[in-house]
């Protein structure tokens, strides 16, 4: 029974479409960031990795100068490399 369940789970995972609305980008100033889109493609969330924190901003898809919100995130664990 466990073997059948395992095969069925693997089959379902293989045929399930994954909808990823994110991709890496480079902005106008050459800074790398990760971009997320909402479901109706009207708001773009840009996450910029900084040296000690993450900076995020939400802008309009049509007019990238229209800022909806911005946020700062601090990781729980940082690498000391």
This prediction has a pTM of 0.60
User: In total, how many domains does the chain have?
Assistant: 1
Percent of the chain with pLDDT strictly greater than 90: 7
Task: Say if residue 66's pLDDT is above 80.
Answer: yes
Percent of the chain with pLDDT strictly greater than 70: 81
Burial label, 18 (beta-carbon count in 10 A; 0-12, 13-18, 19+): exposed
Buried b (16+ CB within 10 A) or exposed e, 38-52: eeeeebbbbbeeeee
Residue 12, in any domain of the structure: no
Per-residue confidence at 28, pLDDT binned at 50, 70, 90?
A: confident
* Average pLDDT value for residue range 40-67: 86
Length of the chain: 81
What is the extent of the structural domain holding 70? 19-81
Residue 35, in any domain of the structure: yes
Residue 31, in any domain of the structure: yes
Residue 67, in any domain of the structure: yes
pLDDT at position 75 is 67
């Amino acid at each position: 029974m466990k073997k059948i369940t395992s095969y069925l789970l693997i089959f379902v995972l293989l045929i399930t479409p994954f909808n990823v609305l994110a991709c890496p980008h480079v902005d106008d100033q050459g800074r790398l960031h990760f971009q997320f889109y909402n479901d109706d493609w009207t708001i773009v969330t840009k996450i910029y990795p900084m040296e000690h924190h993450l900076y995020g901003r939400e802008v309009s898809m049509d007019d990238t100068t229209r800022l909806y919100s911005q946020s700062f995130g601090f990781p729980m664990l940082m690498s000391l490399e």
